[in-house]
Homo-oligomer: A and B are copies of this chain.
């Protein structure tokens, strides 16, 4: 039922239903009027009035489906029009910034990215480059972004986009939200990268339809985004948790966070490089190539990645015991792990986690969105306040 409550004012009900319809089309794609009516619990005349209104203002269009299914006259499909609302998504990673313009419905209309290194990673430098690229992208595509979403690998205050600590970027107390709002002249929302990865998987990836999900972000550092009972888990003051800094190996390697043996020091990119006998700062391409060649030779996996697999599994046992997800999505760099590693991790979690046993086994899968998860999540962060206004 899309109606908020019996007796609400007609204009409130209409706005509420319009937003629900748009969100449905934006997230789940084209659909017929009849299906929309059934899914949203609205009658056909209400759907007709809403679709007609949205079509008139160019937000949706109606078309015959490309393929006919069944006999009789095919129903028209209602399609969201990408140009009706475009947002800018920015994924600030440790070694790269990726930007995209994303249209209503989730299509990426155009993208741009550049590599970061020690010198160009300074916040002022990154912000200037973002502003320049935003202008180029907008001109190229002839669009104006109505909102901006930004993903950052660090501890972020959602209310105002203050980046408290992004250790792998060497950023501390950067007022990223305020500074980007000033240069981009559009509402800017900043989120933790792992949280946005989780959001993307929940809306458009492996976690569609799952209400309790943990997304493991594996870039240079390790992070985790948690969906609990269908909504993102957030801590006090809007700060999200940092799964990468659970201590899995007391007395282990020193971590910049002040602990020893954090999950990140045991399974982050540097640890993976050590396991693969690559230099700790090997280029990402070399790491992925080495993982691919290992995947082709499963017999050597346990020799080379046995200890890595054990630490990955051990951390996930704790994550599953603490948070009770039905699904764990391994993101980013971990999508390149050989399937045999994922299988072994799944078996270990199933065997050792009493919560996993209680829920009849926790699913553990590779992210289908891969490297784009955080960019897509940043776009959705920007879309959220926009959908009610289109």
Contacts and interface: CB of A to CB of B under 8 A. Distances in A.
B7 A246 contact: no
Interface stretch (A139-147, A247-255, A288-296, A370-378): A247-255
A212 interface: yes
Q: Which 7 A-B pairs have the closest CB atoms?
A: A235-B324, A236-B326, A212-B236, A246-B318, A7-B7, A241-B322, A245-B321
A312 to B, nearest CB: 13
Given A165-B358, A354-B257, A358-B164, A233 B240 contact: no
A249 B250 contact: yes
B247 A248 contact: yes
Interface string A180-222: 0000000000000000000000000000000110000000000
A324 B359 contact: no
B259 A352 contact: yes
A365 to B, nearest CB: 15
A12 B248 CA distance: 52
Interface-centre pick from A243, A258, A325 (highest chain B CB count, 10 A): A258
A294 to B, nearest CB: 24
A243 B322 contact: yes
Contacts of A5: 4-5, 7-8
A336 B270 CA distance: 43
Contact of A167 (B224, B323, B354, B355): B354
A79 to B, nearest CB: 33
Interface of A: 4-9, 155, 164-165, 167, 211-212, 224, 228-229, 233-237, 239-243, 245-250, 257-259, 314, 317-319, 321-326, 351-355, 357-359
Contact of A241 (B4, B211, B240, B355): B355
Given A5-B5, A8-B5, A235-B228, A321 B358 contact: no
Given A5-B5, A321-B241, A314 B248 contact: no
A270 B5 CA distance: 54
A241 B353 CA distance: 10
A247 B318 contact: yes
Interface-centre pick from A211, A224, A241, A319 (highest chain B CB count, 10 A): A241
Contacts of A355: 155, 235, 239, 241-242, 245
A257 B352 contact: yes
A371 B132 CA distance: 61
